[in-house]
Chain A
């Protein structure tokens, strides 16, 4: 049986990360936000009144939700060439919403 050797991208090296494009970063960000969100939600449920937890929760929720909207739009047939502007739009809208909301709540 001949040995089957299959190479994969080496994520532990800098060469493996070369040419990682925005679409991939968007997905990684989405996933990182998702995992972090689980931890932060649990913290929030334990004590809903901690301001730092609320802030992080809001930021992550906005990021995850808006990038998720982008993914759903692409799945529904939005032209694929818009995927990059959509990432920037998602992040920008998230930042604006966060700032607006945080100021508006006046704690």
Chain B
């Protein structure tokens, strides 16, 4: 089967390079890339780590859709040619490797670090059966693979939009009753450079491999902003 891989290096032209890869049973796109790199082209650059679908390092756009290369079986892809591109909306480093620094930057912008209220004890759990626990649990498993940011078209249109991952994280903190800076966070994500730029087309939710819905989290943020505005706290 033919692997068409996006190639680019600083100063060079971008191109789609074709490689012929003998497809074996149970082979994943990552296997195909590693095979290509070993047998055919050692200059091919791509990122991976655990190769078992846990770390999220191998996120790429495969046949037009964001996927983890290690979790994408060649047999699940319909065409005979597999086109592999790097994630959208991140600066390219080389070939399929993108710079994830903006991912972290957006997190910092929305204030992704937890700041506890002053008088929480050493252990301050959120009760197992509480609504708060369920809301946070639905959104907390993000491992930062960046596929949602690649899928979100609003990230392309609006450079100030924090993106699904950062907003999802912000939601887990806005909901957290032990969090000190709740209102500050709500103010930070209100408006066009925040949650209101989301138009609910769910591309992020469709792609997330750990079944988070950033759209649902962002809807929660919109409600929080509305509530704050009505209470005059905004």
Contacts and interface: CB of A to CB of B under 8 A. Distances in A.
Contacts, number: 75
B205 interface: yes
Q: Which of A16, A28, A74, A80 has the most CB of B within 10 A?
A: A80
B88 interface: yes
Contacts of B90: 6
A24 B219 CA distance: 16
Contact of B64 (A3, A4, A15, A23): A15
B64 A2 contact: no
Interface string A21-48: 1011011100000000000000000000
Interface string A47-88: 000000000000000000000000100111101100100000
B86 A21 contact: no
B200 A71 contact: yes
B168 interface: no
B182 interface: no
Interface residues of A, number: 27
B116 interface: no
Contacts of A3: 10
B213 interface: yes
B91 interface: yes
B222 A75 contact: yes
Nearest to A76: B223
Given A3-B10, A5-B92, A75 B153 contact: no
Q: Which of A6, A18, A74, A83 has the most CB of B within 10 A?
A: A6
A7 B88 contact: yes
B10 A2 contact: yes
A4 B85 CA distance: 17
Given A16-B64, A24-B201, A83-B202, A9 B153 contact: yes
A3 B63 CA distance: 27
Contacts of B201: 23-24, 26-28
B83 A15 contact: yes
B88 A18 contact: no
Given A21-B202, A24-B202, A8 B223 contact: no
17 contacts: A6-B88, A7-B85, A7-B88, A7-B89, A9-B88, A21-B203, A26-B201, A28-B201, A71-B200, A74-B200, A75-B200, A75-B219, A75-B222, A76-B223, A77-B219, A77-B223, A80-B216
Interface of B: 8, 10, 63-65, 83, 85-92, 153, 156, 199-203, 205-206, 213, 215-216, 219-220, 222-223
Given A6-B92, A77-B220, 10 more contacts: A2-B10, A5-B92, A6-B89, A18-B64, A19-B63, A27-B199, A71-B200, A74-B200, A75-B222, A80-B219
